[in-house]
Amino acid sequence: MVVLFSFGINGVANSQSAMEFGNRRKEVINKMEPGSVMLLRTPLTSARFDESRPGGSFYYLTGINEPNCVLVLFSSDFPVRAGAMANSKEVLFIRPVNSDRLNWDAQTIGIEGAEIKYGISDVRPYSEASDFIGRLLALNLKVVYMDMEKSTSLNDPMSGDEQLIKMARDRGATFKVLPAETILSPLLSRKSPAEIEYMKSVVNITAEAQREALRSLKAGMYEYQLDAIIRYVFSVNGSGSVSFPTIIGSGINSVVLHWMENSRKMEDGDLVVVDCGAEKDMYCADITRTYPVSGKFTDRQKAVYNIVLKANEEAIKMIGPGVKTADISLKADSVLSDGMVRIGLIKERAEFKKYYYHGLSHQIGLKDSFGGLVAVLEPGMIITIEPGIYIREEKTGVRIEDDVLVTDTGYDILSMNAPKQIPEIEKLMKEEGLNVLRNVIK
């Protein structure tokens, strides 16, 4: 991977090339319908799994991670020319550098920085964005691609976007509004060679965190202490954030899919589900492993674990271009249901959903913008495979999740450095890990 530049100033956390971001914008422009524009704003942080770094489609097309920015793209046929609203097919609105605060605060990249470092020729102050968009929507547009903010009910006032569109239509505008993801989602699904290298790096960081968690795990630790070890490994490897709040579910908490409180004291005899993902340069990993707190699986735990492991491995073997994800899920379902019958957990195969109540797979990649649901796999996609069994009455939950790249000929397991075979796990648990209890104030 060639790093062309890297800023340490506020709001910018990327080291991909300006050429790559520019090529992405060109590809979007070429796919837009004639007579159309695309409006993208810096996204608000999500209320779900909020980790304060939004990423998203705006970042995907610009590499800029700061608030109060707007990107406007014009379709390839749009009559952009001198004297018109813009002098290129792309216009960026961004906050200028505050020269009065240079010695006090980290600054934005500013107008000149965006022009030089990101290759955007038409950059303007953010304060001009609202008027520009209002005038733009009054033109004879056919399609406007935007992720429109909508009011939540008929009793609520209209959102700013709804008011803007209403005013344009009151003045005769007839354009259609389409989600930006109509164009962006397929592009986000297929990772470029540079993105794949980023993903390999962040997955390897996550795998190393899983290994250290495994070495350090001891009865008497709290779930949050294991979380601290994972975040430490992320941090020393350059991951300043997490893909999502780490899930450390021990004992009864192991059956709760999104247990993020991480408050329980772990005890001998428990299994602990460790679901974590580092984030670096906005790219996110997602690996889950399940460990015995005592250092050794019981016979019953082994029986359940090996069913999930077989479902994980058999599903991964099916991955390749042109394969339907529904078929992969059915394979995992078959292995899980057969296994549950074999160990006496259920009597009929159709009952397996009582103990496996989530889907098998989702895409991963750029934070908050990695592509939608996938029906058929294509080269460049990166998906998870994460079967599980959750037995509440036994306080036993097992999930095994890998990150897998779809290649031209099959697949590449990116998360293979995170141990998942029982002998590997039990052997690594005998090694010395981090002693976080030494720093606990008595």
Contacts of 145 (CB under 8 A, 6+ apart): 32, 36, 37, 38, 39, 178, 179, 180, 182, 183
Strands 278-280 and 90-94: unpaired
Q: Which residue has the tokens 């956390």?
A: 13
Do the beta carbons of residue 282 and residue 265 sit within 8 Å? no
Range scoring the smallest mean pLDDT among 65-69, 287-291, 324-328, 335-339: 65-69
Question: Is-contact 178 38, C-beta < 8 A?
Answer: no
pLDDT digits (tens, 9 = 90+) for 321-362: 999 999 999 999 999 999 999 999 999 999 999 999 999 999
Q: Is the pLDDT of residue 404 over 70?
A: yes
CB 1 within 8 A of CB 17: no
Chain-centroid distance, C-alpha 427 = 32
More confident residue, 178 or 11: 178
On whether the CB atoms of residues 188 and 236 are closer than 8 A, the answer is no
**CATH number, span 190-439:** 3.90.230.10
Amino acid at 160: G
* Per-residue pLDDT, 65: 84
Distant-in-sequence, close-in-space partners of 131: CB < 8 Å, separation ≥ 6 = none
pLDDT of residue 255: 98
Entry pTM: 0.89
* Contact criterion met (CB below 8 Å) for 144 and 178: yes
The pLDDT value given to residue 50: 43
Which tens digits make up the pLDDT trace of 180-230? 999 999 999 999 999 999 999 999 999 999 999 999 999 999 999 999 999
> Helix 223-236 and helix 193-216: axis angle, to 10°?
140
Strand partners of residue 81:
none
Architecture of the structural domain at 18-186: 3-Layer(aba) Sandwich (3.40)
Parse the chain into domains and list their residue ranges: 18-186, 190-439
Q: What percentage of the chain carries pLDDT values higher than 90?
A: 70
Please check whether residue 366 is in contact with residue 188, taking contact to mean a CB–CB distance below 8 angstroms.
yes
Rounded average pLDDT over 282-300: 97
> Could you tell me the pLDDT band of residue 105, with boundaries at 50, 70 and 90?
low
pLDDT > 70: percent of the chain: 91
